[in-house]
Amino acid sequence: MTMITLGDNIATRIKELRQKSGMTQQELSNKADIDWSTFNRIERGKNKNIQVNTLDKIIQALEIDYPEFFTFSDSENIKNRIIAKVMLLDDTDSDKALQIFEAILDWKKD
């Protein structure tokens, strides 16, 4: 059994969010002011000991906050998985999904 580490989850999350933003690795590494080869190793999960300041640069370049970044789509917690999946949708689809969730939650109140 292969153990998935926090470093693996971070690498996957960076790639998910980069692709969602429509940026290439080169564009995001430039925006984060990180050498492209270093960024490439981070995103491929080859650099498992990412420094906090490097991760901070990536999160800022993605224009998101820490809670959004650290909500993993493969979490065992169903609430976290759903939130992560909604965050990966574009704004229009995200708004539709949230309206559906709100309607379901309001229905449960009655």
What is the number of other CB atoms lying within 10 angstroms of the CB of residue 10?
A: 21
Domains of the chain, start order: 1-70 (1.10.260.40), 75-110 (no CATH)
pTM: 0.70
The whole-angstrom separation of Cα 15 and Cα 85 is 14
Per-residue pLDDT of the chain (110 residues; tens, 9 = 90+): 566 677 888 898 899 899 989 999 999 999 999 999 999 999 998 987 889 999 999 999 999 988 888 877 766 778 777 877 787 788 888 888 889 988 988 886 65
The whole-angstrom separation of Cα 45 and Cα 11 is 5
The whole-angstrom separation of Cα 78 and Cα 84 is 10
